[in-house]
Amino acid sequence: MRFKEKVIEKLLLVTALSAIGVLALIIIFIFKEGSPIMVKVGIPHFILGEKWSPSKGIFGILPMIVGSIWVTVGALVVGLPLGLGCAIFLAEMAPARAGMVLKPAVELLAGIPSVVYGFIGLVVLVPFIRNVLGGPGFSVLASAIVLGIMILPTITSISFDALKAVPKAYRDGMLALGATRWQTIRMVLLPAAKPGIVAAVILGMGRAIGETMAVIMVAGNATIIPTSILAPVRTLTSNIALEMGYAAGDHRQALFATGVILFVIIAILNLLARWVAAGRVSE
């Protein structure tokens, strides 16, 4: 018995270590492949350079950084009100049973492959924007809407859990003061659930900034800094996916360096999420 326990323990340790090891190797690999070109071009030039022209050896990824930010913020502008509204409705207004059925239904949205979202965006949304609002249709707006819908399950499900975790005593206390349901939600439940909602936003942002396929299909992918929401845009992830197939030499390294920047941004978002979640526990 003791022997069996020991074996299982060791096996689990090996599994854990190899998982961490693989991750570490990936990170080392990306940094090793990406760093030399950043040093060669100069990190400020690489990050702040406005021109991306691999054939001429010019590597500035500012358009893609700005593009990722535009698209991510846009996704939040679309996804946060919808997702939070949905969570509030399911947690506080729908009958308890309806909430229990509808929440998994919303979570199911997360299981749809991103290429499907991209495809619908391509055949429905892009022509719609082109015909109604003008411009090429492939745009920041199209990407924001597609991503906003893709992050709905994340935002809805985590905000829902945060709202459900608010002690019943707050609800009763507020109702006993003569508050309406909406006043109770606005004045006490939302502030009480705020750490969870912030965590939902950060995780949604992580999902939006990392999404590639759906964005490539509707974004237009031009390497210029977009000046309007109807202009085409290229994100950091799209940049890697679009050019990796044929890149070599400095160009290939510059794509790895794009990955390094993306990695840093996502690591910061994750740290933020942890920090916020920890704040919730200690309160």
Q: Which of 61, 64, 65, 174 binds another protein (CB under 8 A)?
A: 174
Interface with another protein includes 161 (CB under 8 A)?
no
Q: Which of 130, 170, 241, 263 binds another protein (CB under 8 A)?
A: 170
DSSP class of 186: I
- 52 - beta bridge partners? 59
Q: Is 156 helix (H, G, I), strand (E, B) or coil?
A: helix
Measured from the CB of residue 174, what is the shortest distance to another protein in angstroms?
7
Q: Which stretch binds another protein (CB under 8 A): 123-131, 162-170, 211-219, 254-262?
A: 162-170
Interface with another protein includes 173 (CB under 8 A)?
yes
Residues 241-246: contacts with CB within 8 Å, 24+ apart?
A: 241/212, 241/213, 241/216, 242/216, 243/54
Whether residue 140 contacts residue 74, with contact meaning beta carbons closer than 8 Å, is answered with: yes
Q: How many residues bind another protein (CB under 8 A)?
A: 18
- Main-chain phi, psi angles of 52, to 5 degrees: -120, 105
Angle of CA points 214, 274, 279, to nearest 5°: 135
Nearer to another protein, 192 or 205 (CB): 192
Q: Which residue has the tokens 């942002």?
A: 205
Rg (CA), the chain: 22
Nearer to another protein, 30 or 179 (CB): 179
Interface with another protein includes 192 (CB under 8 A)?
yes
Q: Which of 19, 93, 105, 177 binds another protein (CB under 8 A)?
A: 177
Measured from the CB of residue 186, what is the shortest distance to another protein in angstroms?
10
- Where do contacts with another protein occur on this chain (CB under 8 A)? 167, 169-170, 172-180, 183, 187-188, 191-192, 283
